[in-house]
Each structure stands twice: as C-alpha cells, then as structure tokens.
Amino acid sequence: MKLSAASLRQRKSVSPIPMLTAYTTPVARCLERAGIPVILVGDTVGMVEMGFASTREVTLDHMCYHIGAVRRGAGDTHIIGDLPYDSDRDPETALRSARRLLEAGADSVKLEGPKYEVIRHLVAHGIEVVGHTGLTPQTAANFRQVGREAADAERVRAEAVGIAEAGAFLIVLEHIPTTLAETITGTLPIPTIGIGAGPACDGQVLVINDAIGLGDRWPPFSRQYAYMSRTIVEAASTYAKQVREGSY
C-alpha cells in the first residue's frame, strides 16, 4: 500500500524509514518487491547514470523521464521527485516545476537548501515537500562533510528548523556529523532521513548505484550490499568468450 506524506510524517520515532533512490523501471520494481516504502528519484541520476560531472546538468525533462520510469515499476510506492538545479529558483517557477514532476508520477518533491519561501508556496498549493540540508550537491563546491565547525553546525541546524517550519514533511540530512544529525533529529517534529549522517536519524537514504556497487567509486559513508559492476563485467566477459568460441 502506498504511504502518503502524512503517514510518513507519523513514522517519526515510531519505526525507521528505509529509502533508496531509483531511476529505472526494473530497479524500481525490485525495490517495491523488497518492501522499500519510499523511493527518491534524485538528480544524482545525472552523475550515476548519465555520466555528468555534477547534478547541475540535470533538467526537468530528464527528471520527468526517470520519474515516469520509476512510477511504471513501483505503482504502490511513495515516490519523491527531485527538483533539479535552478528549477526552484523562485516560488512560481518552483510551483510549475513541481507540478510537472507530479504529473510525471511523483507523490512529493524534494528541494535543496533554505528556500523557505518556495517551500511555503508549494505547501500552500497542496504540494508535499521534502527538504534537504547539510551537503547540498547542486550548490556545493566539493563533497566534504559539512557542519564540523560550531558556526557551520549552527547554520545547518537553523536551516533544518526553518525548512520544517516552512512546511516540509520530511528532511534529508546529507553528510553531516552523527552528533549534529542526532541533535536535529531530537529537535524537529518531522522525520529526518540521513545520508552519511549516522544512525540516529529517523530513516536513511542511499543512492542505489552506491548501495549495489554499480559504478566505479562510492562515497565512504555508503555500504555496498552487492557488487553489480563486477557481476556485469563477469557476465559480459563470459558472453564475449562464448561468442568468440561459437559456443552460444
């Protein structure tokens, strides 16, 4: 059964929320079969599936294409669609962009950073919003952990509070110290979903390619639960050998 934003919000301090990203129909189908209740169609698709150097190259059309594919594979799963870089630059643009993601199949949208006015505008128009603070890849200069120094930790904490107050029903905390994630989780009335933020959050999200070992390098905080790149190389090598030998 598909979880609504309200029921996800109510899972705060009740049971941890396992979330993964997905970008394609077959992977979405697997995640739904595995009982993953929330799928994020993240703009990480640009880096892990499309070969771009950053998420800034991802467009709204790309996101709609991938959200549609994921929806066709996971009809009963809550899907969060990521608003790509600059598609949420002001409240009206964000509203138009968010509506396109919902039309493509998303149940809610995620946006990066302390865009309180944008969040309030989307929520006022009936759109469920997921916030994102800590490391925000669309604007980050590098992928180092943030919130280590006291002033930066306070900035991240204040942003998380502001995002929740603006009306987000969930918030992603990316690549921040465990203790800071624990403090924020204890403060906010909405569930926190960590990625590289330790185990004290209300849930965890990983990029599917990192989790299944599909790619060349993975962030230090992401566990690999499989090594799909290795499996594909082995399968393709066996196939090539059999074709060369005529034994297929």
Give me the active site residues, please. Answer: 174
The distance of closest approach from Cβ of residue 170 to ligand KIV in the complex, given in angstroms and rounded to an integer, is 11
Q: Count Cβ neighbours within 10 Å for each residue of 67-76 and write b for 16 or more, e otherwise.
A: bebbbebbee
| CB of 102 or CB of 207, closer to ligand KIV | 207
Closest CA to 57 of 87, 79, 27, 28: 87
Q: Return the number of other C-beta atoms located less than 10 Å from residue 102's C-beta.
A: 18
Burial class (CB in 10 A: 0-12, 13-18, 19+), 17: buried
Hey, which residues does 193 pair with through a beta bridge?
172, 203
Tokens found for residue 52: 């771009």
Minimum CB–partner distance for residue 196 and ligand KIV (Å): 9
Is residue 210 close enough to count as binding ligand KIV by CB under 6 A? no
**What residues from 139 to 178 belong to the interface with ligand KIV (CB under 6 A)?**
172, 174
- Interface mask (CB under 6 A) for ligand KIV, residues 8-37, using x and -? -------------x----------------
Q: Which is nearer to ligand KIV, 40 or 104 (CB)?
A: 40
197 lies in the site for ligand KIV, by CB under 6 A: no
Provide the sign of the torsion angle of the four alpha carbons 75, 80, 83, 89, taken in this order.
positive
State the nearest-atom distance from the C-beta of 234 to ligand KIV, in Å: 28
By CB under 6 A, the count of residues binding ligand KIV is 11
The Cα 87–Cα 89 span in angstroms is 6
Q: Which of 213, 208, 111, 125 is nearest to 163 (CA)?
A: 111
Tell me: does residue 43 bind ligand KIV (CB under 6 A): yes
Contact between 134 and ligand KIV per CB under 6 A: no
Residues within window 62-91 making contact with ligand KIV, judged by CB under 6 A? 82
User: What residues make contact with ligand KIV under the rule CB under 6 A?
Assistant: 21, 40, 42-44, 82, 172, 174, 195, 205, 207
